[in-house]
């Protein structure tokens, strides 16, 4: 991988000699900001001092030549700047979901570092590696196609934008639920050193620093940011449980594996960023990143729901879990070894009356893991020494131009190639009386994705306060897969696995339109109405045992037609900000993983259903005085299946099922108080927040015992800032509420995800 990254970096430097970029004005206008920073400084995320009311945040999600204040963008968008990321002690994308209504940014649960994000009821609830997401994550203009390592750290980011609803025109495939746009902080034109260190319980160390400044005068600027995170694990591994005599444990002896904490983390991220200014009209920003992440893999916690199915670990091994809360009885911990790196070159050229922005990117991911999904003292269901590799190459160029007064055009082209190689190996417990104590199964696949798209979006001013935006995107995509179905090995190990390789391919095309009308009858009050379409890629399922080729699919693309009406307002001299949006999504050809009758597969990925999703998003910020601010967001999601094309085993009427991992309500409340302390020459601040989610199912058939009850998490931060340094104490999940991100029943009942109470102290300094 290192050789490929070096080659990619060399390519970007070579192309820099031919790149052209536009230097934007240093001072933004009242409602727009420079898309590219003047003299290399980072885009200023706020346009107004907090003392005048709720501050404005500049966003780039509309992909125009210049940024806009989020309040003037006629879509549902939540923008989070550096200050809020710090105030909420957000470490990764998993922490930001609560900051926007109707958003879930939980990992997949079964495999660390894989997002199962959803927005407004649309997402993916699967760990099949060949399956694409429904929420696009875009880092510095590069779409993270392969989901391993996509729950990225939030350090060194200038902003995070959460775009709710389909983004089919500007972000294309796999943005049916929305998009999360990340922007790395650009280097400044003056020398600066930043350091941020925290230490907490579970021996959690989180340290990051950056150094930046001019390399060759004001024309070449550089920054290197480094993050190191570690802890000794947050889940207590015990030997607790009831053990009785059983066929595979005739003595009824208790487990005797090592105890202590499991789930430890060891992460290193290095992000060099460079800005080259060749002239006032020619500019290149080079974003590079290397990530090394190690942990204990999946840490499953067992439970036994009263009155429900007794699992194999109890009937065959005589074990019943008694450990409650964030503890487990895990005899075979796993591991994860993630190595990921990318090179992104962003070229900005002033050509004629407009601006051309071109992004070329390369990303490599190496993901090796053992995941114990049963989480018991015995080997029950283990993904053993799996190997995954991905190489992604992408390019996008867009031209922003003012055609005439009140008419702005955005036109772009996008190309992508992604190669994925996965070796999947499973070790499962054998049946009583079987000749062998364990079963070994192996499958393998290599998939190539080639995608091309072209898009146009035209913004027209019909009247001074009435604007129309129309656009469309044409997409052409081909997926080719060579796979060996999951095959039972004949012996006690993976060396006896005979594999038969099959190949297939499919091409899909799509056109996604968009129409938005927005009206500003009064200053700082915006109404908008929109229709937007989007699609999620067709997908293959190589997790099949079917040698006929039926089980692999593919499933055809999903489609969404979204209708939305919203209002954005700043009231009472900008001391109150209230945004509300009402939406309806018509969701068709939904891809679901289930067992299809008659084809002998373990899992089938099928276009199983259609659904209607209605909801309301609300965001409120009140700042009565400079020292005090209240924040709230509320999301209501009414998601209902309308039709099922295939039967769901054990379910008489599948349309009555609740869509998995979609709570009907999400509520977030926060209050921040700041007060100068003249005797100390600084300022003290206190923030407390509460994040509540209503009950939700975690699997398609809504299996009794696998629902996550409603829960609420309380976080707090108390800090003191003076001059260029600050110190704070923080706590997350202060009341140690027990919750999970997903649940499963196989060899045993298992909870996955969630985090106990954490707390610590944090110190930052800027020199």
Query: With contact defined as beta carbons under 8 Å apart, do 237 and 328 qualify?
Result: yes
Query: With contact defined as beta carbons under 8 Å apart, do 160 and 722 qualify?
Result: no
For residue range 730-752, list pLDDT tens digits in order: 999 999 999 998 899 989 999 99
Q: How confident is the model at residue 19 (pLDDT cuts 50, 70, 90)?
A: very low
Strand-pair category, 235-237 with 327-328 = parallel
| The two structure tokens encoding residue 429 | 């417990």
Q: Identify the pLDDT of residue 29.
A: 35
Q: What is the mean pLDDT of residues 621-632?
A: 95
For residue range 666-722, list pLDDT tens digits in order: 999 999 999 999 889 999 999 999 999 999 999 999 999 999 999 999 999 999 999
Q: What is the mean pLDDT of residues 74-78?
A: 95
User: What distance in Å separates the CA atoms of residue 271 and residue 240, rounded to the nearest whole number?
Assistant: 43
pLDDT at 27 over 50: no
pLDDT at 2 over 50: no
User: What distance in Å separates the CA atoms of residue 358 and residue 19, rounded to the nearest whole number?
Assistant: 9
Q: For residue 592, which of 548, 549, 514, 651 has the smallest C-alpha distance?
A: 651
Q: Identify the pLDDT of residue 96.
A: 92
pLDDT > 70 in the chain, percent: 92
Q: How confident is the model at residue 602 (pLDDT cuts 50, 70, 90)?
A: low
Q: How confident is the model at residue 61 (pLDDT cuts 50, 70, 90)?
A: confident
Q: What is the mean pLDDT of residues 366-372?
A: 94
Q: Identify the pLDDT of residue 312.
A: 93
Q: Identify the pLDDT of residue 48.
A: 42
Count of alpha carbons within 13 angstroms of residue 13, beta-carbon side: 10
Q: Identify the pLDDT of residue 129.
A: 87
Q: For residue 132, which of 553, 740, 613 has the smallest C-alpha distance?
A: 553
Q: Identify the pLDDT of residue 298.
A: 86
pLDDT at 399 over 60: yes
* DSSP symbols for 277-318: EEETTEEEEEEEEEEEEEE---B-EE---TTSPPPHHHHTT-
How crowded is residue 531: how many other Cβ atoms within 10 Å of its Cβ?
14
Q: Identify the pLDDT of residue 109.
A: 66
3-state secondary structure 558-571: EEEEEEEEEEEEEE
Domains with residue ranges and CATH for the chain? 2-766 (2.40.170.20)
User: What distance in Å separates the CA atoms of residue 394 and residue 343, rounded to the nearest whole number?
Assistant: 11
Q: Identify the pLDDT of residue 52.
A: 66
SS3 511: strand
Q: What is the mean pLDDT of residues 108-136?
A: 86
| The two structure tokens encoding residue 318 | 């005589």
pLDDT at 33 over 80: no
Q: What is the mean pLDDT of residues 349-359?
A: 94
Q: Note the maximum CA span of the chain.
A: 85
Q: Identify the pLDDT of residue 389.
A: 97
User: What distance in Å separates the CA atoms of residue 148 and residue 288, rounded to the nearest whole number?
Assistant: 18
For residue range 267-297, list pLDDT tens digits in order: 999 999 999 999 988 999 999 999 999 998 8
Q: How many residues would you count in the chain?
A: 767
Q: Identify the pLDDT of residue 179.
A: 95
Q: How confident is the model at residue 518 (pLDDT cuts 50, 70, 90)?
A: very high
| The two structure tokens encoding residue 546 | 């079917």
pLDDT at 138 over 90: yes
pLDDT at 597 over 70: no
* DSSP symbols for 127-184: --TTPPPSEEEEETTEE--S-TT-S-B-TTEEEEEEEES--TTTT-TT-SSEEEEEEE
Q: How confident is the model at residue 595 (pLDDT cuts 50, 70, 90)?
A: low
**Cα angle value 683/688/692 (rounded, 5°):** 160
Q: For residue 613, which of 118, 237, 44 has the smallest C-alpha distance?
A: 118
Count of alpha carbons within 13 angstroms of residue 186, beta-carbon side: 26
Q: How confident is the model at residue 364 (pLDDT cuts 50, 70, 90)?
A: very high
How far is the first Cα of the chain from the last one, in angstroms, to the nearest whole number? Answer: 35
Q: Identify the pLDDT of residue 435.
A: 66
Mean pLDDT of the chain: 89
Q: Identify the pLDDT of residue 241.
A: 95
* DSSP symbols for 645-707: SS--TT-S-GGGSPPTT--SEEEEEEEEEEEEETTTTEEEEEEEEEEEE--B-SSTT--TT-P
Phi-psi region of 626 (alpha: psi -120 to 50; beta: other; left: phi over 0): alpha
| The two structure tokens encoding residue 103 | 């958003």
């Amino acid at each position: 991988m290192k050789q490929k990254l070096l080659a990619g970096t060399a390519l970007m430097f070579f192309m820099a000699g031919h790149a052209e970029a536009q230097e934007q004005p240093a001072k933004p206008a009242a409602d727009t900001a420079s898309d590219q920073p003047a003299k290399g400084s980072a885009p200023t995320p706020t346009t107004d001092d907090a003392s005048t009311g709720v501050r404005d945040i500049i966003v780039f999600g509309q992909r125009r030549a210049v940024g806009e204040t989020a309040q003037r963008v006629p879509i549902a968008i939540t923008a989070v700047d550096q200050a809020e990321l710090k105030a909420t002690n957000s470490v990764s994308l998993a922490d930001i979901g609560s900051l926007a209504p109707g958003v879930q940014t939980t990992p997949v649960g079964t495999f660390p570092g894989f997002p199962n994000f959803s927005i407004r009821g649309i997402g993916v609830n699967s760990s099949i590696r060949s399956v694409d997401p429904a929420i696009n994550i875009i880092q510095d203009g590069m779409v993270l196609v392969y989901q391993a390592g996509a729950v990225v750290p939030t350090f060194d980011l200038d902003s995070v934008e959460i775009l709710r609803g389909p983004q089919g025109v500007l972000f294309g495939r796999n943005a049916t639920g929305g998009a999360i746009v990340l922007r790395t902080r650009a280097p400044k034109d003056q020398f600066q050193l930043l350091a941020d260190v925290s230490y907490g319980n579970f021996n959690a160390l989180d340290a990051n620093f950056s150094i930046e400044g001019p390399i060759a005068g004001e024309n070449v600027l550089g920054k290197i940011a480094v993050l190191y995170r570690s802890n000794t694990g947050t889940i207590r591994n015990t030997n607790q449980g009831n053990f009785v005599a059983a066929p595979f444990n005739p003595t009824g002896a208790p487990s005797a594996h090592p105890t202590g904490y499991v789930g430890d983390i060891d992460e290193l991220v290095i992000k060099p960023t460079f800005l080259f200014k060749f002239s006032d009209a020619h500019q290149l920003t080079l974003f590079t990143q290397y990530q090394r992440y190690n942990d204990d893999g999946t840490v499953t916690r067992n439970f036994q729901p009263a009155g429900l199915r007794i699992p194999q670990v109890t009937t065959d091994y005589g074990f019943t879990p008694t450990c409650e809360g964030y503890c487990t009885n895990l005899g075979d911990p796993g591991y994860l070894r993630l190595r990921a790196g990318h090179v992104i070159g962003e070229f900005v050229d002033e050509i004629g009356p407009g601006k051309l922005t071109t992004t070329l990117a390369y990303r490599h991911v190496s993901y090796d893991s053992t995941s114990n999904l049963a989480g018991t003292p015995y080997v029950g269901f283990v993904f053993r020494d799996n190997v995954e590799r991905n190489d992604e190459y992408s390019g996008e160029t867009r031209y922003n131009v003012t055609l005439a007064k009140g008419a702005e055009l955005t036109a772009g082209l996008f190309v992508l190639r992604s190669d994925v190689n996965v070796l999947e190996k499973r070790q499962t417990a054998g049946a009583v009386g079987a000749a062998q104590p364990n079963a070994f199964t192996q499958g393998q696949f290599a998939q190539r994705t080639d995608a091309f798209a072209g898009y146009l979006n035209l913004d027209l001013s019909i009247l001074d306060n009435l604007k129309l935006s129309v656009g469309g995107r044409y997409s052409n995509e081909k997926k080719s897969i060579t796979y060996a179905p999951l095959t039972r090995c004949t012996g006690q190990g993976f060396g006896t696995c005979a594999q038969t390789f099959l190949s297939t391919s499919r091409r899909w095309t799509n056109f996604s339109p968009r129409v938005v009308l927005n009206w500003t009858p009064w200053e700082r009050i915006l109404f908008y109405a929109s229709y937007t379409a989007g699609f999620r890629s067709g997908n293959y399922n190589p997790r099949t045992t079917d040698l006929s080729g039926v089980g692999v699919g593919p499933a055809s693309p999903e489609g969404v037609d979204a209708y939305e009406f919203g209002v954005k307002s700043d009231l009472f001299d900008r001391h109150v900000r209230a945004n509300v949006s009402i939406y309806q999504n018509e969701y068709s050809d939904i891809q679901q993983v289930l067992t299809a009758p008659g084809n002998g597969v373990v899992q089938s990925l099928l276009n199983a259903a259609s659904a209607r999703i209605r909801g309301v998003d609300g965001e409120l910020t009140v700042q009565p005085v400079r020292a005090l601010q209240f924040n709230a967001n509320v999301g209501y999601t009414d998601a209902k299946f309308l039709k099922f094309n295939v039967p769901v085993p054990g379910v008489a009427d599948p349309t009555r099922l609740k869509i998995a991992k979609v709570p009907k309500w999400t509520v977030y409340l926060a209050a921040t108080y700041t007060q100068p302390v003249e005797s100390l020459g600084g300022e003290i601040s206190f923030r407390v927040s509460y994040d509540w989610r209503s009950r939700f199912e975690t699997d398609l058939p809504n299996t009794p015992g696998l629902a996550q009850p409603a829960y609420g998490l309380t976080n707090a931060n108390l800090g003191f800032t003076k001059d260029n340094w600050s110190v704070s104490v923080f706590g997350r999940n202060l009341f140690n509420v027990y919750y999970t991100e997903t649940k499963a029943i196989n060899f045993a009942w298992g909870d996955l995800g969630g985090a106990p109470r954490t707390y610590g102290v944090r110190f930052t300094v800027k020199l």
